[in-house]
Amino acid sequence: MSHLTELFKYVDDHQDLYVQEIPLPPIILGQLGSDPAKKTVCIYGHLDVQPANIDDGWDTEPFTLVEKDGKLYGRGSTDDKGPVLAWFNCIEAYQKIGKDLPINIKFCFEGMEESGSEGLDDLVFSRKDTFFKDVDYVCISDNYWLGKNKPCITYGLRGICYFFIEVECGGKDLHSGVFGGSVHEAMTDLIALMGNYLPLFKVIDHLQKKFAELGSPNKLKVNMGHGAKAWVSDFNHPHYMAGRKAMKTVFGVEPDLTREGGSIPVTLTFQEATGRNVMLLPVGSSDDGAHSQNEKINRSNYIQGVKLLGAYFHEVSLLE
Amino acid sequence: MSHLTELFKYVDDHQDLYVQEIPLPPIILGQLGSDPAKKTVCIYGHLDVQPANIDDGWDTEPFTLVEKDGKLYGRGSTDDKGPVLAWFNCIEAYQKIGKDLPINIKFCFEGMEESGSEGLDDLVFSRKDTFFKDVDYVCISDNYWLGKNKPCITYGLRGICYFFIEVECGGKDLHSGVFGGSVHEAMTDLIALMGNYLPLFKVIDHLQKKFAELGSPNKLKVNMGHGAKAWVSDFNHPHYMAGRKAMKTVFGVEPDLTREGGSIPVTLTFQEATGRNVMLLPVGSSDDGAHSQNEKINRSNYIQGVKLLGAYFHEVSLLE
């Protein structure tokens, strides 16, 4: 037993190794080219994904890319590892044909997007006068077409607003036979609050007022968990015209011009930090199933997408 | 690898060992005494308990009886292992003082009470003309005093009615940015249904009608999970008078006469199957915390309770 004394002392002495705050995953900043005669495009993407397990209802292992009927199945195939890879495949294709990239690129890839991009805003704002200073345009490929056949460019986002409502009743379990019907049950208060139409503003004030009207002795806690402002841009901006022309070149049609519900809060972050135009240039199709079981990206979307990014580089290089 | 072939064959051949319906736990029927000159009392109790884990917030191990300040802490101390044991301690005390029991006893102890007494009704009704045929009175000790100091006898129960409401929306996970606001969310329907006042009768019809009014494309499933009818008896019945006198003998006061919220559906089962008077004779105090953390029974309630059961046997033996 004597070794246990030593073992326990070691564990006590090194407890900070076990109980500690974990650092956020790194954000990758990279640069390709610095020709002052060329435009500089900042490309954002994210490398983290939603959780996935075959038991959730996937037909194949979520973390093994599987092609079936022209569809590439796997977690992150469309959100957002696939589109990130498409940028690299496009750069590689330029290299293979022995042609210089017509633009400079600044990459910003993070690993916390599915968890509210924690830490990203701080980094982008803190480097707005250094790394991000000479950026001319920002381009993000992290959303989806409106349908399955026609591409789109996205110039608006709805934003997002999460609230958490918590009602606390007893401090311990209560027997329904003894207390049921005589205590104010937390669930009843919660249903009453959640059955309300919420105003656009002052949500917390509104819920506290409604709760007070219930006359309940329970305790209410409301807080906003996570939010992102709405965003809209101008689809006739030269940067957008470059994107639209690139779409026309690859797909032969003028793209849909959309606003959508995904929050992508970094869009506004980049716009505010760089003061430059930001465009959302999706590669995936509406039925890709981001965040869902059997997430996929179509082989055709991917291959045409790589071409699209090349055409986009070209069109940007022609801008004034 | 060749042993695997053999192993797999064994598993295949014996699959019924692993995948099978588990039998219900036994119901214990017992008899003490069969003197035709004595009254026969049927005693019901249950040996199963609610789940309990020290991590739920118990101060001591829930399955180790711990006495502190005159209180006996442990899961089942008051619901219902303690009261069951009190019957036995009372019988033992009769034996220790060398006195014959003044009545015959038929025991019925089950192990599924906390799970809706599954199987008990079938057994009791199937033996109503055999084992339960010559029962004169039924007595159950499975509830609590109204307060902490004055005992009670219970002659009414509220009954219980559980409903399960299920609303089915998508067959897979949907991205809030793509689908949020454009699909009918199941949670919204559920809140709307749960925010309604329910009628006393035809609950399922009512919920289906309300759901239809919502015009939702989702699927609704409502079913009643578990129910028990309300029950009321006559507290001036000779059997109750015997109980009330026993209370007076031990506690020196006329007990409260209560109706309560616990469902105890077997009460009605025994009344209907035997056609005899059923009485609820509680031992525990209102603050015992059945189903809760730190469930306890007071030492004084337990000791006085054992005496009470003896006094009850005596009073019953005097009945016509």
Domains of chain A: 28-159+229-317 (3.40.630.10), 161-226 (3.30.70.360)
Distance CA B245, CA B313 (A): 11
Q: If we measure between CA atoms, which residue out of B120, B110, B90, B115 comes closest to residue B30?
A: B110
Q: In sequence order, what E strands does A74-191 have?
A: 104-110, 137-140, 152-157, 160-168
Q: Are A56 and A272 in contact (CB under 8 A)?
A: no
B317: CB partners within 8 A, 6+ apart: B38, B39, B102, B103
> B160-168 and B71-73: which strand pairing?
unpaired
Tell me the whole-structure pTM to 2 decimals: 0.70
The pLDDT score that the predictor gives to residue A245 is 96
Q: Any idea which of A112-121, A150-159, A196-205, B234-243 has the lowest mean pLDDT?
A: A196-205
A169 touches chain B (CB under 8 A): no
pLDDT tens column, A87-101: 999 999 999 999 999
The pLDDT score that the predictor gives to residue A3 is 77
Distance CA A115, CA A105 (A): 26
B55 touches chain A (CB under 8 A): no
Reported ipTM: the value is: 0.73
Per-residue tokens: B72:
């006996």
Closest CB to B261 among A177, A192, A194: A177
Which residue of chain A comes nearest to B178, CA vs CA? Answer: A261
Higher pLDDT, A267 or A10: A267
Per-residue pLDDT 10s for chain B (320 aa) are 567 788 878 888 888 887 778 889 999 999 999 999 999 999 999 999 999 999 999 999 999 999 999 999 999 999 999 999 999 999 999 999 999 999 999 999 999 999 889 999 999 999 999 999 999 999 999 999 999 999 999 999 999 888 999 999 988 888 888 888 889 999 999 999 998 888 878 999 999 999 999 999 999 999 988 788 999 999 999 999 999 999 999 999 999 999 998 888 899 999 999 999 999 999 999 999 999 999 999 999 999 999 999 999 999 999 98
Distance CA A167, CA A153 (A): 43
Q: Do A194 and B192 touch (CB under 8 A)?
A: no
What's the distance, CA A12 to chain centroid?
40
Query: H or E segment at B312?
Result: helix B299-317
Annotated catalytic residue, options B80, B110, B113, B189: B113
SS3 of A21, please?
coil
B112 residue type, one letter: M
Strand partners, B144: B284
Which residues 113-142 of B are in CB contact (within 8 Å) with A? none
The pLDDT score that the predictor gives to residue B250 is 95
Distance CA B108, CA B268 (A): 15
Which residues does chain B have within 8 Å of residue A144's beta carbon, measured at their own beta carbons? 178
Distance (Å) from the C-alpha of residue B269 to the closest C-alpha of chain A?
18
Closest CB to A173 among B173, B182, B291: B291
